[in-house]
Structure 1
């Protein structure tokens, strides 16, 4: 079989998986609108959308639709951010949470709340993006020290240490401020329960900028995967590509964290899952990660509402329950590779 035929078949398979993922997103979105304290039937959903439904069902639907949209946006943002971070660092266990980027955004938001008195969503996002960028630079700098440069192990250790330090600073700032502590604790868990169209309208353009940066950097991410020397030999500006890709990842992680709180493991799990289905070409991997990440977070939100009815488990907790075993599996798999 010729290479052209192989390429066409590969593209067909990727398109098939993409269509399947979009179908899964559509189904999960409908389930997200339907399930909650009160289950909404298909007839009630159609009646509410047409403006002829009863008040209770319509109110439930009007509350759940923005929540579903926010979960889609945040899941896609975190997945693409994790994909870019793994490409930039060539670290299979990189994600905004593990590298300390999420906690950098959280610390910046806490500083803004406690000392500046920020309340506007744009202010939250601005502080979060700056904090995420500062954390990313700090972790990469520390992880690059010593022999061998920024190895995956050193980056993971630097990220873990930074996460612990930032977590302690956050506690030190918030614990004396009882008036702010309750709101912070609910935000810290990570969730999409406070969704509104106003928040979504402010978040979406910022996420679009970050996603476009990552998408346009996809070809450069492919070069980075070959190693800096080989990428440079192929004419790639390694420093610029790494900086631009990291910028897109930081914007996505910071903005998503500012609105939904620190949600971990989405950026870790999704890139690995997507590589199994569509390969390692980031021109496919980035958009596929966005769709699959959206599906994961919406599914986690639905699961958290179903298993704890009439209460709910925040999506950040469900994502951690799903992601932690996967993280252990990745670490063990990487260790086996290094020993073999």
Structure 2
């Protein structure tokens, strides 16, 4: 049986795209990470950055800026970008909604509600403390959405899941708005957190949150084959030996760990979970294993460049990275809506 030259050409094109997505993506990520260490309110020459990373002697001020401030921030940017991108790919596959992002499961609204309670009622204003409330709020909200979506009955209905997430998000957002009006301290504390920021975030004090996010990434990678079967339909997936209920439940858990942890650390960041999965599908095709791997690379790339833009947009001040991503994501969302081919899942 002869293979069509067109199918051979398409396979070669897809293979080249996948090589670029991984190898080229890693190279771009390395350049982006170096740029993140160089650029800031006080630019540092690349040679000085490399010397500091290898332990060579550099001026004390430069060493402090690089090792104490920019390296942890860049690591956090990579972690959050990858987590949100993978969570976005999972929720789009789970709901078969190409315009879905992790926020529809109540992650963002649950975190915001918990932070508002921590600040308004308990007087907690340090990010290293209210991050735990944010994580607990995200987990509780997603659990409630999953139960309403059918998890308690041994089935997870994507439509019920979506509707429950939207409804819960609306309720919690209304309560948070009331708390902000009633308590000026609450408003002043969370106004920056609610648009997403990497400023004054300490990874060391939040190591358990990082471990939770890494657990979510491992679950997502393991689910790749099952998600491919689920994309063929429930009956076909069951015929192939895939447990539809277990796959959906584990996917919800991975989304919660990834997006919940990221939101707890830096606040709600929009559009990364929406944009990057579409880039991954364009580069690697419909195989979920490749999509997830691609998201782990290109999510951080988008987030790092957005963070760099946030630093230089209003220098010597700094713009919240969530605002930069909104400027970038708005046109992308319009383009996705207008381009039907991009919406196919």
TM score, norm. by length of structure 1: 0.86
Q: What is the CA-CA distance between 1:67 and the residue it aligns to?
A: 0.7
Give the equivalent residue in structure 2 for 1:58: 63
Give the equivalent residue in structure 2 for 1:230: 236
Conservation of the 8 A alpha-carbon contact between 2:114 and 2:133:
no
247, 255, 258: which is aligned to 1:252? 258
Deviations 1:271-294 (A, max 9, x none): 011100001101111111111101
Deviations 1:189-213 (A, max 9, x none): 1111122241453332111111111
Conservation of the 8 A alpha-carbon contact between 2:114 and 2:136:
no
- Ranges in structure 2 where 5+ consecutive residues have no aligned partner: 151-156
Give the Cα–Cα distance (whole angstroms) in 2 for the partners of residues 337 and 178 of structure 1. Answer: 42
Deviations 1:318-337 (A, max 9, x none): 11111122122222334998
Could you say if the C-alpha distance between residues 255 and 155 of structure 1 is closer, same or farther in structure 2, counting changes exceeding 3 Å? same
Moved more, 209-218 or 233-242: 233-242
Give the equivalent residue in structure 2 for 1:298: 304
Conservation of the 8 A alpha-carbon contact between 1:84 and 1:249:
yes
Give the equivalent residue in structure 1 for 2:22: 18
Conservation of the 8 A alpha-carbon contact between 1:82 and 1:271:
yes
Give the equivalent residue in structure 2 for 1:170: 176
Moved more, 179-188 or 162-171: 162-171
311, 321, 332: which is aligned to 2:327? 321
Could you say if the C-alpha distance between residues 293 and 133 of structure 1 is closer, same or farther in structure 2, counting changes exceeding 3 Å? farther
Give the Cα–Cα distance (whole angstroms) in 2 for the partners of residues 191 and 59 of structure 1. Answer: 21
Give the equivalent residue in structure 1 for 2:225: 219
Could you say if the C-alpha distance between residues 316 and 135 of structure 1 is closer, same or farther in structure 2, counting changes exceeding 3 Å? farther
Q: Structure 1 residue 271 and structure 2 residue 271: aligned? A: no
Give the equivalent residue in structure 1 for 2:154: none
Q: What is the CA-CA distance between 1:221 and the residue it aligns to?
A: 1.0
Give the equivalent residue in structure 2 for 1:281: 287
137, 145, 149: which is aligned to 1:127? 137
34, 55, 58: which is aligned to 1:30? 34
Coordinate RMSD, CA, aligned: 2.9
Corresponding pairs, count = 328
190, 201, 208: which is aligned to 2:207? 201
Conservation of the 8 A alpha-carbon contact between 1:265 and 1:320:
yes
Instruction: Give the secondary-structure state (helix, strand or coil) at the position aligned to 1:264.
Output: coil
Deviations 1:78-113 (A, max 9, x none): 000011101111111111135543222322333344
